[in-house]
Each structure stands twice: as structure tokens, then as C-alpha cells.
Structure 1
Amino acid sequence: MFSNPDADPIAGRDDAWQRLDRPLRRLLPRSLMGRSMLIVLIPLLVTQAIALGLFYGTYLNVVSRRLSDGVTGEISLVMAMIEHEPLASRRSVVLQDASSRTQLGFTFHPGETLSRQGTNHVLGPVDDDFARSIQQSLGRAYDVDWSESPQTVRASIQLSDGVMVVMVPIKRLNIGPIWLFVVWAVSSSILLFLIAGLFMRNQVRAIRRLGHAAELFGMGRDQGAIRPQGAREVRQAAVAFNRMQARVNRFVAQRTAVLAGVSHDLRTPLTRLRLTVAMIPTTGLIRAENLAPDLADMVADIEDMERLIGSYLSFARGEGAEEPVPIDLRGMLDDVAVATVRAGGRVLGVEGREGVEAIVRPDALRRVLTNLAENARRHGGAMRFSLREGERSIEITIEDDGPGLPADRRAAISELRETAPGTDGKGGLGLTIVRDIIHAHGGSIRLMESPLGGLRVLLELPK
């Protein structure tokens, strides 16, 4: 197989890392608290594992071998003494003296031979070290029985004329119970992990408060400045958020004031135009039947402009001053439907259960629903309202049987892109204001084709 000389090794390593990174992301916790605790837990476990490995892998092995070699050396010395003492009475004296001085129990059985050899392996590395030390230091047949009693070990060694039995206390061979160190390591790890968890919870709580305040501010529920808490970086983020919040509120207030002033000033020339059109004579040199259609079109244009300015003024008045409060959405839909019928529209029905509440700006949301209903009345005639409550959001749908909107203009309004210049109505400034109000509530708007044949507007509000 030939390799490609033009292949990029760095790109290959990046691809391999991405393939490894995807399953790791699915295994790792998603919350900051979980990942922070994992960062604390992994080094803690690695440190304890290294400590256990070093302690039991090196230190305990060395101590165990030295203890075994010490006991074996004493046994070897006693063996040499009794082998050089032919008299049985003198051997007994030597064994008694050795037992009192070494804390080992020595007995000699003349003429006996070992029925078995080796060790029965009860304590693992400790008995292996003892058996190995006997084999290497004494060079005799032996039998080590660890099940003789809980406190002693029976070591039988074959001599030339009998068997010498040595009762060795286990404390002379075993450094101590292993579980004490394991319990200490585990308990200290758990204690350190809990302490780290308490500290991390305080830091994460400050970040959560900052995120919650940002979410409420994005939905138009201004809770005021938040108190900086937590680490220095989190405090700096909270201070920066408070400054940003003040700047945004100041910008919105200035924009609202300018918009209200411009819209109010535009009403004066429009009023003069309406009076001028009303005072144009329709008799004399100009025949009334030729001028009447033009005057009607001019009056209609002036009314459209006045309606646009009224929408601007309403939007400007309600954007900065109104506070969000809990509102019964079904009751508001019923009120808008009644007002639409009174204005000459045809409402096919209002669907949805009663008692569905959301925290909204009442006048702004009512303006949204009235604007959409007015659009449906002017361009279609028949409309239908529906309300549906989900787990995290509430959906309000307004459908009509009008001409609808092209797909590109629906996408432009839904995706916050600039729309083509046009008058208020389907896809014009009215829907743009509706979109801005819904986004200010932290919701979204989607424009689709309606089963009735016209436009379907789906408003999604957070609970």
C-alpha cells in the first residue's frame, strides 16, 4: 500500500481526535458542576492509586521481606545450636532458652519426618515472603501452616534426625491490617471530595444566578442589577453584565423617545394633508367623476400612513414602560376575537383550554394579537385562533384564508433579515413590530402556510 505524500498529518491527527472526542462528550457530564467535580475527582483517585501502589508495592514488600528474614535468621541460629548438641536433655534447654529470648515457640520431635511440604497461602505476599526466606536461608524441607491459629503460624522444618516445629506469632511477620490504610485513604478522599463540592457549588451558584439574570433580561423581565458573588472572574462578569444592562436600558429608552417624537411629529403634516384633500373642490373645470377615484386613493394612503404612525407610537409607548405580569392568555384571545368580530372580521373559533398563564407585557401582547387579527381581517376575512401549552413554552396560532406571503418574505421576517420596502400588512412593518415584541418576550415567531389557504402565524412564548 502506497501512502499519499500530499496528505496532511496534522489534519489526520485532528480527525482522529474528533473521532475520539465524540464518545467522550457523551460520557462526560454536561453541567459545569459535574465537570468541575470530575476535574477534582480524577486527580484525587489517581493520587490515591499511586499512593497505594507505592506503599503496598514497595514499602510493604520491603518490610515484609525484612521481617521474614529476621524470623528466619533466628530459626537458623537455633537450628545450628541444636544440631551441634547431641544430647537430648541439652537440646531441650537450648530450645527453652531460645523460646524465652526470641518470642518464638520451639519444639523438637526426634525421628519424625514431614508428611507435607510447602505453604497453604493464607495471607498472600506475607506468607510467600516467609516461605521464600525459609527455602533460601535454610535449604531444608519445610511446611508452613497459617491456619494453625489466628495469632500464630506453625513452621515445621525437617532436620537430619527429626522435625523442629516453630510457633511464630503473626505480628512478627505481618506489618498490620491492610484495610486500615484503605479505609483511611477512602475516607480522606470522600471528605476532600465533599469539601471541594461545597466550594464548587458556591461558585456554580453565582454563575447560575448570572445566567438566570441574563435570561430574564433577554425576555424583558428586568430584575435590576445583580449582586456580584463568587470568584473574582465571576464577579467581574456580574459587574460587566450590570453595566451592559444599564447601557441597553439607556439605549432602549433613548430609541423609544426618538421614535415617539418622530412619530408624533409626522402626524401634524398628515393632518394638514387630510384637510387639504377634504377641501379640494370637485366641481367646476374638473369633473367630479374623474377626480373622485384619485381623492379616494389619496385618503386611503393617508389612512395607511396614520395607521403606521399609530403602530409606531403604540410600540414606543409600551416598549420601555410596561412591566411583565402573569396574564390569562385564553381570556386575552377571547377579547381580541370579540373585538375583531365587532370590527367586521369573521372568527371561525378560539381553541385552547382556559387558565393558561404566561408572564408577558399585557398591552404589548394585546397589540401583537390585534395587529395580526387586523391583518387577517383586511387581507382575508376569516381567521382562527388557537392556544396550546407545552412543557417549556406556550404556542399561540393565528390562521387566515387570505393570499398569504411568499416563502422568501416569510423566512426574512422569521430570521430577522431585512424585508423589502412595503406598506404595513402581510410581511410589512406590522409583522416586523410583532416580531420585535415577541423576541423581546424571549419568544419566537414562525410564518407558515395555513390550512385555510392563507398565512399561519405561530407565536411561541416561554413559560
Structure 2
Amino acid sequence: MKRIARLLRGILPRGLLGRALLIILLPLLILQGVALQLFYGGHLDVISRRLAGGVAGDVGMVAELLSRFPGESDRSWIFHEAAWRFDLSLAFEPGASIAGGANRPSWLPILPLEDDLVQAMGERVRLPFDTDWQSDPRSVIIRVQLPDGVLHVEAPRKRLFFGTLYLFVIWMVGTSLLLFLVAALFMKNQVRAIRRLASAAEAFGVGRQHGPIKPEGAAEVRQAAAAFNQMQGRIRRFINQRTEMLAGISHDLRTPLTRLRLGLAMLPPGAEEDATAMSEDVAEMERLIATYLAFARGEGTEQSQPADLAQLVRDVAAKAVRGGAALSVQAPESLVLPLRVDALRRCLGNLLDNACRHAAKIVVALREKPVMEAGRAPTRWVEITVDDDGPGIPEAAREEAFRPFASFSAGGTGLGLAIARDIARAHGGDVVLEGSPLGGLRARVKLPA
């Protein structure tokens, strides 16, 4: 049973449009199949037997008359009357016999014409015979064995086949195609609205804001689109209010810090050592405030725009090299993607800062990587890896390192990795920690291309 279920899942279409059309098409095919079976089993079968019986009866009458009146003049009269009254073309071959007596295949085997004619001939003629459906496209050739020769009969196909069958088949196929086409066009419009809603939700999730979407389609789809627009507006208002509030807090905190810095500068001579230590504390507090503000804001106000990711990686790496890091970069010449440039620069900068504090050798690599997902076309992703030869982080503690204020060594605020992951996820990607081939830690940044 499970194998059958898996087989059906592999055969059935995965998209909503394909499944909806299948739901429409299957009942339509079943209905047309039932109608066709009723037609074949009822009307067509009865009419075919009656037509075949009529032709067989006429041939049997001609054969009986030829047996009773074998004269040449009688035969000519019989042939003339049969051609006029029965629409049969007759010929007689004296002294001949039917070889084998086999019937040739029917011209249209899906219909019961041949079987009905053979059965009717056996019932009404009761003489050896055979039929040929292929030699003449307009007639069925029937040969009947008489005592003194073979009777050749050409019966028009129209006497065995009625044209309403064509009309019935055309009506069935035509109405089915028309109904399926109408259903396909209707469902395509409905699915298009759902796809637009999904695309808008995905774009909003990775920071590509295109404004509210137009509600269209069925009432439920319109309701979902309206709910999405309302949710999008609420989230934007929340982000704006949070950013404004945090900006105000930052301003309020920096004002007393500035007064402290001025007070330290005005200390009397002899207190330089204390003033230097206190100035360092003030600078550390300002740096912490800026870091906390960046984490809480999540770089949510910056909009995505096309940018060269390869050049961005090289710029961030060059800044780390100027700071004294032993660093190498592996990246293509150019790789343009929609990015939040400042946010991603902060993400990579945080990862490089962590590596520089704990390692002597660092390797940064940028590469494209197609990803295969079941039932979907391959998608393009880019990966940025930062490898170092430092002490690393135990595997069991790597996920814990992303929690805010988690710190595994001195000198860190515990927000660098949290901010990096927050920025990567805002782009629709992620950051994970792994063991590095250099012996230390690898930070892998995955971004959709």
C-alpha cells in the first residue's frame, strides 16, 4: 500500500494548477467513457446488428434465387433487380471456389461491424462465405460459395455504417476539449493570483519590498492578498517605530557619554592616567551601544539593490588585511546579486573579526552552488566560507554561539554571530558553523542568487 502511495505521489503533478486540472479531467474522462460504453453497448450494437442483418438477408435472398433459377437470363434479371432494389453489385464466377474461407481484417476494428456481419451471414445465408473489408474503400466484398460457382457481392459501406457515429465522437471530443480549455483558463487565472501572492511574500521575507499587491482571483485569494497587505503594513510600521525608538535611545545615551568625555578632558593635571582609563571605558560603552542598536534594528531599513558580491567580499577582506590579518580570498571576477550592501558588509565584517581575534591564517571563498530539491527545478545559491586555523568551537556549542550575548572567548560582545545570522536570514539565507579544513572554525554564509 505504501509503495502504491509513493508511486501515485511520483506520478501526480505537484503544482496546484496541474492537480486542479487533474481533478477536472478525471471525472470528465470517466463521464465520457461511461457515455461511450452505453452508446457502444446499447444504440450502436443494436443498429449494427440490424444493418448487418439487412445486408445478409439481401445476400441470402440473391443466393437463394440463383439456386432456384440457375438460367443465364434469370441470373441477369436477378442481378439487375438486386442492383436497383438492394444497392448491391453482383458478379458470378462459374466453377470457382472459396480458398480457405478466411475473412480479412476489418477496416475499423474498434467497431462491431465485421462480427455482426459474419454472425448475420451465418444465420441468414448458411453457405460458405468470406468477407473483404480492405480491397475497396467504399464497399465490403462478400463472396458466397454456390453449388456451381462463387457469387461476388459488393455492398456499399454506408449500408453497414451510419454517419451519426462521427457526429457522436466529434461531439464527445469537442465538448470535452472545450470544457477542459475553459477550466484550464479559469484555473490558470486563479493560480496566477496565488503565485503572485507567494512571490510577494517571498520578496518581502528577503527584504525586497515592492509595495502592496493587487487583490485578484477568487474571494478567498483576494482575502489572503488583503490580509498579506495588512500584515506587511503592520510589520513595516513596527520596524519603523522600533528603529525610531532605538535611535532616540541611542541619542539619549550618547548625550551623557559626550558630557563624560568632555568632563574627562577638563580634569586637572596629574589625573591623566585615570582619564585615559575612563576614556577607554567611555569608548567601549559607545561601541557597545552602536552594536546593540545594530542588532536590534537588524538593518531592516535598508533596501535591496543589485550589487557585486565578489567586489564586496574583496573590500571587506582588504579592510581586515589592513588591520594586520593574514588573509587570502578566492572569488570570481564579478557576481551581481540583489543585496543589502551595508548589512551584508556588517555580516562579513563580524565573521572576519571573530576569525581575526582567534586565528593566524584565514581563507575567504565565494562560489556559486546549484541546489537540487525534490520535485523542483535546480535553484542557484551562493556560498561564502570563512575558514580559520584557530581553536574553533565545539560542535555541541556551535548553535549556542548564535544566541545574543553568548561569548566563547574574551574580547567579544556576544552579538557578532547573532547579527551575522540575522542579516543572512533577512536576505533569505542563513549562516552555519562547521569544522574547517584548516583545523579551526568555518563560517558558511548561504544566500539565494
The bucket for the TM-score relative to the shorter chain is 0.7 to 0.9
Q: How many residues are treated as equivalent by the alignment?
A: 435
State the match for 1:129 in structure 2: 116
Offset, 1:150 = 4.0
* Larger mean Cα displacement after TM superposition, 421-430 or 65-74: 421-430
| Corresponding residue number in structure 2 for 1:440 | 426
Q: CA deviation at 1:121?
A: 3.4
Name the aligned partner's letter for residue 346 of structure 2: R
Is 1:21 paired with 2:2?
A: no
- For residues 338 and 164 of structure 2, the distance between their equivalents in structure 1, rounded to whole angstroms, comes to 64
Question: Residue in 2 aligned with 1:362?
Answer: 341
Please report how far the alpha carbon of residue 360 of structure 1 lies from its aligned counterpart in structure 2 after TM superposition: 1.6
CA positional deviation for 1:411:
1.2
Contact 1:308–1:424 (8 Å) recurs in 2? no
Deviation of the 1:65 alpha carbon? 0.5
Mapping 1:382-461, distance limit 5 Å: 383-391=362-370, 392-413=380-401, 420=406, 428-461=414-447
Residue aligning to 1:73:
57
Query: 2: CA distance between counterparts of 1:381 and 1:331?
Result: 24
Q: CA deviation at 1:25?
A: 1.8
**Aligned equivalents of 2:295 and 2:413: distance in 1?**
17
Q: Percent identity?
A: 50
Cα deviation code 1:258-315 (max 9, x no counterpart):
33333333335555666788899999xxxx9xxx8x9988766554432110123345
Provide the C-alpha distance between the structure 2 equivalents of 1:56 and 1:396, rounded to a whole number of angstroms.
68
> Which residue pairs with 1:12 in the alignment?
none
- In 1, the alpha carbon distance for the partners of 2:400 and 2:331 equals 29
Provide Cα deviations, 1:341-388, integer angstroms capped at 9, x if missing partner. 44x432422331232222222222222233333344444465443322
8 Å CA contact 1:156–1:164 kept in 2: the answer is yes
| 1:165 Cα deviation from its structure 2 partner | 5.7
Contact 1:156/1:166 (8 A) holds in 2: yes
Residues 142 and 156, structure 1, Cα contact 8 Å, conserved in 2: yes
One-letter code of the match for 2:160?
L
1:254 positional shift: 2.0
1:236-272 Cα distance to aligned partner (Å, 9 max, x none) = 2211211111111112122222333333333355556
Asked if 1:310 corresponds to 2:290, the answer is: yes
Structure 1 range deviating more: 157-166 or 214-223: 157-166
Written as runs of structure 1 = structure 2, the 5 A alignment for 1:33-432 is: 33-76=17-60, 93=77, 96-97=80-81, 99-105=83-89, 114-115=97-98, 118=101, 120-123=103-106, 124=109, 125-146=112-133, 149-157=136-144, 166-176=153-163, 189-190=176-177, 192-268=179-255, 270=257, 302-314=282-294, 319-342=299-322, 344-380=323-359, 383-391=362-370, 392-413=380-401, 420=406, 428-432=414-418
Is the 1:64–1:126 Cα contact (8 Å) retained in structure 2?
yes
Structure-2 separation of matches of 1:364 and 1:53: 68
Q: Aligned partners of 2:443 and 2:252: how far apart in 1? A: 33
Q: 1:402 to 1:105 in 2, by over 3 A?
A: closer
Aligned to 1:11: none
Secondary structure in 2 matching 1:70: helix
Amino acid in structure 2 at the alignment position of 1:324: S
Please give the alpha-carbon distance, in whole angstroms, between the structure 1 residues aligned to 2:346 and 2:326: 18
Give the residue type in structure 1 aligned to 2:365: S
Q: What is the rounded CA distance, in whole Å, between the counterparts of 1:91 and 1:452 in structure 2? A: 109
| SS of equivalent residue, structure 2 residue 121 | helix
Cα distance change of structure 1 residues 142 and 429 upon mapping to structure 2, 3 Å threshold:
closer
In structure 1, distance between residues paired with 2:385 and 2:134: 83
User: Any stretches of 5+ residues in structure 1 without a counterpart?
Assistant: 1-15
* Distance change >3 Å, CA 177–CA 225, structure 1 → 2: same
Against the structure 1 CA distance between its residues 235 and 425, is the aligned structure 2 distance closer, same or farther, given a 3 Å change threshold? farther
User: Does structure 1 retain, via aligned residues, the 8 Å contact 2:404–2:415?
Assistant: no
Relative distance call for 1:357 and 1:85 in structure 2 (3 A) is closer
For residues 390 and 93 of structure 2, the distance between their equivalents in structure 1, rounded to whole angstroms, comes to: 116
Determine the C-alpha separation between the residues in 2 that align with 1:451 and 1:269.
48
SS at match of 2:303: coil
Offset of residue 454 of structure 1: 4.2
AA partner of residue 134 (structure 1): M
> Contact 1:144/1:156 (CA < 8 Å) preserved in 2?
yes
Alignment correspondent of 1:32: 16
Mean CA deviation greater in 90-99 or 385-394: 90-99
Offset, 1:32: 2.9
- C-alpha change, 1:103 and 1:316, in structure 2 (3 Å) is same
TM-score (ref. length: structure 2): 0.78
Deviates more, 1:430-439 or 1:198-207: 198-207
SS at match of 1:460: strand
Cα distance per residue 1:6-42 (max 9 Å; x no partner): xxxxxxxxxx3x3322122222333333333433443
Q: Is the 8 A contact 1:383 1:400 kept in 2?
A: yes
**In the TM superposition, what is the alpha-carbon distance from 1:95 to its structure 2 partner?**
5.9
Q: What secondary structure does 1:211 align onto?
A: helix
CA distance in 1 between partners of 2:8 and 2:53 (Å): 50
Q: 1:97 Cα shift?
A: 4.1
Query: What residue in structure 2 maps to residue 3 of structure 1?
Result: none
Distance 2:238 2:127 in 1: 97
SS of the aligned residue for 1:447 comes to: strand
> Which amino acid in the other structure matches residue 169 of structure 1?
P
Aligned to 1:459, the other structure's residue is in SS state: strand
